[in-house]
Chain A
Amino acid sequence: MSADQITNILVCGIGGQGVMTATEILAEAAIAEGHDVKKTEVAGMAQRGGVVTSHLRFGPKVLSPQIEPGTVQVLLGFEGAEALRWSHYLRPDGLALVNNARLVPPVVELGLFDYPEDPAGQMRAAGRRVVSFDALSIARDLGEIRLGNTVMLGAIADYLPFAPDVLQNCIDQRFARKGATVVEANRRAFAAGREAVATQLGTSATPA
């Protein structure tokens, strides 16, 4: 199995942010495209505000479930400092899509540690390709902060080895039970996520 045939996506954030669900939807999209898929995380204490990483690997045949440092094509960061923490997992040509959220833990508030001033900037300074955006503000502008995770999925949609509408369809299916209004709201969030990244990269998001 050539390593090039496997796509490695690392989704990182904090317990409770929806990292695992987002990765599950990405996995469903890869399955819909006929890929073999493995998805893993260590979630034992994650819902207590700890670090969460979700590893997604797909391709013709996936063996080891864990992604290794230096092999990630796309890093989807739900939080700035967490994206920085895991940025060494990126390949040299990998892309980091980072939500600017700053979730400051009690150990920092207590003055025991410092939160980095500009995590995305620090990643860029280390030679990483980074697109950062404020998923929460985008979601708030759309009228519902809970749409932030769909904004995140929109952000990655144009950097997968399949068409964005494959992912869009999986999101539609997730929310179909909740009615047309919710599906529509998520579609707008998905489009806004795509747009946010495309604007920064100077590309254009083609309609899904």
Chain B
Amino acid sequence: MAAVMPLMTRIPAPPPAASRLLLSGNEAVARAVWESGVRVAAAYPGTPATEIIESLARYPDLHTEWSVNEKVSMEVALGASITGARAFCAMKHVGLNVASDCLMTMTITGANGGLVIAVADDVGMSSSQNEQDSRYWGRFAHIPVLEPADSQEAYEMTKFAFALSEQYETPVLLRLTTRICHVKALVTVGEREAHEPAGFVKNPQRWVMVPAHAKQRIPNLFKRDDTLREVSEASPFNVLEAGSDRRVGFVASGPAYMHVKEAFPDAPVLKLGFSYPWPPEKVRALAAMCDTLLVVEETEQLLETEIKAAGIACHGKDVLPRIGELSPQVLLPAVDQLLGKAVPPPAVADAPLKVFPRPPTLCASCPHMGIYYTLSQIKNIIVSGDIGCYTLGAGHPWNALDTTICMGATMGVALGMDKGRGEVDKNKRILAVIGDSTFMHMGMQGLLNITYNQGNVTVLLLDNNTTGMTGGQATPASGKDIHGNAAPRVHLEKIVEALGVPPERIKVVDPYELPVLFKAVRDEIKTEGPSVIIGRRPCVLTEEFKPFRPYLVIEDKCTGCGNCIDVGCPAIHVTRRDRVVKPSGREVDLAFVNIDNQACTGCGLCVQPCAPDAIQHVARHDIPIHIVKS
């Protein structure tokens, strides 16, 4: 095992109690988890929840880890809870889909040490493949749901969640959204309290979930729902604010509450913090004091349906949008509509001016560029994709991914395409692309399935030695743990071979070496049977990446062919466009370029397709240097 320098050799002491800190919701949850005496905290990175465990890793006296996926993180937390330790796991909304198999049975065993699951919904879909509403899990799994509305509440509710979990032996779901996770606000913090585990007690009727045992315990879930409904009814997190303008009363939770208060400061509001089970008597009390009840909830029509089912008349999604984030400017016309007022059209000054789109793109020198440039040059292929930075390969200029569904789906989808395709697709080659972290998260089974079922798929395993899209977290193949300390390093070639890929069909290539990569892909897709090409280069945003000498374009030599632009590097810029008529009479568009040598890190990808040899290294004395040294 290679010695790796620890990243965080100096862990600063946590700020003392009573400090008022500017914390994101994620940082506030982390602080509260630490203060609650938690011993084990686990997660797989996922936006917008990633920073919870990242912040926790900086606190002393607890085990934090990057688990290989969300299901494992939940199982780790459950195991700790079974011994009586307080335990925590965090994930994004789609992560809870992965972990749900554990959740749906762990709700039956219940918690021993306080067990809290933070789940962060990407309302508005800034970086996710769907927009789903995690509040459903409370109903599905019969567990309480807490919904903070800002960082201070995220902190307070997290602490409350551990006590609630222990008192009622239930896992507790802390439901966050992007506007909690990624909003920084002032939080008054406290001190860590010791919480010594009560110890493991052998009890197969509780912990061994065979049918006979589970049957005995399932009635507890329904009893627990009823008990928790009473707790919710009395909870100080469910506050009825009487207001003075009683025309419309609001039920709101999470960020929606803040929008309601901003738009209608004088209206009666039932703020739900303990949002499942919700308190029916408090809702009735609100309904009784106002003319009209409006349920303000982001995404699904969940609470509204349940309130109506309880026989309480209310409005909700008849006037409010079902997708995306809410805001005061969304709420104001909706309430005007409810009150029968004319809704004025939006002010012209507020209309956005038209500007080109700026989608996220691969970084200069990103090794994925070599892969996607290569794939874009090969005809008659179908490329199944996955979740990560490399999903950007679906965009311009490569247009090199044909599917993206969920973590690890690429190889299952590819095998299904291989087995399902008819005459019309029989001459196409099927490839599957997946990143190293996604491969270890949920991809290995898909590859095993291909080899076992004798699929004809070429897998491109993009090994950049990190979890790139979420900001460069360590993986089991990066040889580092969450703290940056050395950890056992697994070898992807060995895993791939163990999963049944013949050794002669496993190739490791440098994605910067385009001819070698191109040949490897051509050779493998022509040959029957499964194969894996590992493209190995570190992510440019990690410390493993060492920049090379930047390149420049020799202006006189550039012929405007535009081949280099097709590589897709953001450091290449067009300086001049032209249109010429070839001797054949064909019109050709030319684009003359230069390279931004502040951004170029010298990977050389653009050099290779440049026919006139116009891209050359910057002279050493022209390499940009920084004068103020830190």
Contact = CB atoms under 8 A, between A and B. Distances in A.
A31 B19 CA distance: 13
4 tightest A-B contacts by CB? A44-B127, A48-B360, A113-B356, A50-B360
A104 B573 contact: yes
Interface in B119-136: 122, 124, 126-128
A144 B360 CA distance: 28
A155 to B, nearest CB: 20
A193 to B, nearest CB: 16
A143 B325 CA distance: 44
B329 interface: yes
A113 to B, nearest CB: 4
18 contacts: A38-B184, A39-B22, A39-B185, A42-B126, A45-B360, A46-B360, A51-B358, A63-B261, A63-B262, A64-B255, A81-B356, A85-B353, A88-B353, A105-B359, A106-B396, A109-B574, A110-B397, A143-B628
Interface string B302-342: 00000000000000000000000101110000000000000
Interface string B26-43: 000000000000000000
Contacts, number: 176
A134 interface: no
Contacts of B356: 81, 105, 107-108, 113-116
B347 A70 contact: yes
Contact of B565 (A39, A65, A109, A126): A109
Interface string B340-359: 00000001011111011111
A86 B573 CA distance: 24
A27 B624 CA distance: 32
Contacts of B360: 15, 45-46, 48-50
Contact of A47 (B262, B265, B471, B570): B471
A106 B469 CA distance: 19
A69 B329 contact: yes
Contacts of B389: 48
Nearest to B151: A38
The listed residue with most B CB atoms (<10 A of its CB), out of A42, A112, A144, is: A42
B392 A38 contact: no
B355 A49 contact: no
A10 interface: no
B541 interface: yes
Interface string B191-216: 00000000000000000000000000
Given A49-B358, A69-B329, A84-B353, A36 B186 contact: yes
A46 B362 CA distance: 11
Nearest to A122: B353
A165 interface: no
B47 A44 contact: yes
A88 B397 contact: no
A43 interface: yes
B485 interface: no
B183 A65 contact: yes
Given A47-B541, A68-B327, A69-B350, A107 B359 contact: yes
**Interface residues of A toward B: which range?**
35 or more
The listed residue with most A CB atoms (<10 A of its CB), out of B349, B356, B358, B591, is: B358
B148 to A, nearest CB: 13
A167 interface: no
B577 to A, nearest CB: 8
The listed residue with most A CB atoms (<10 A of its CB), out of B127, B353, B355, is: B355
**Interface residues of B toward A: which range?**
35 or more
A102 to B, nearest CB: 9
B589 interface: yes
A42 B47 CA distance: 10
Given A49-B358, A50-B360, A42 B627 contact: no
Contact of B178 (A42, A81, A122): A42
B626 A146 contact: yes
A84 to B, nearest CB: 5
Interface in A151-208: 178-179, 181-182, 185
A111 B299 CA distance: 37
A105 B47 CA distance: 24
B361 A50 contact: yes
Given A50-B358, A64-B262, A104-B573, A41 B397 contact: no
Interface of A: 1, 14-15, 24, 27-28, 31, 36-51, 62-66, 68-70, 81-82, 84-88, 92, 104-116, 122-123, 126-127, 143-147, 178-179, 181-182, 185
A114 B358 CA distance: 11
B349 A1 contact: no
Contacts of B327: 64, 66, 68
A147 B628 contact: yes
A56 to B, nearest CB: 9
Contacts of A42: 124, 126-127, 178, 182
Contacts of B361: 48-50, 105-106
Given A86-B352, A105-B356, A123-B353, 13 more contacts: A38-B185, A40-B179, A48-B360, A62-B185, A65-B183, A65-B185, A82-B358, A84-B355, A85-B352, A105-B361, A106-B569, A109-B572, A126-B353
A88 B392 contact: no
The listed residue with most A CB atoms (<10 A of its CB), out of B128, B329, B356, B593, is: B356
A110 B178 CA distance: 33
A106 B541 contact: no
B541 A38 contact: no
B377 interface: no
A48 to B, nearest CB: 3
Nearest to A3: B262
Contacts of B142: none
A51 to B, nearest CB: 5
Given A66-B327, A69-B350, A178 B363 contact: no
Contacts of A28: 22
Contacts of B427: none
Contacts of A145: 598, 624, 626
Contacts of B541: 47
Contact of B352 (A44, A45, A88): A88
Nearest to A102: B573
B259 interface: yes
Contact of B179 (A31, A66, A84, A106): A66
Contacts of B183: 38-40, 65
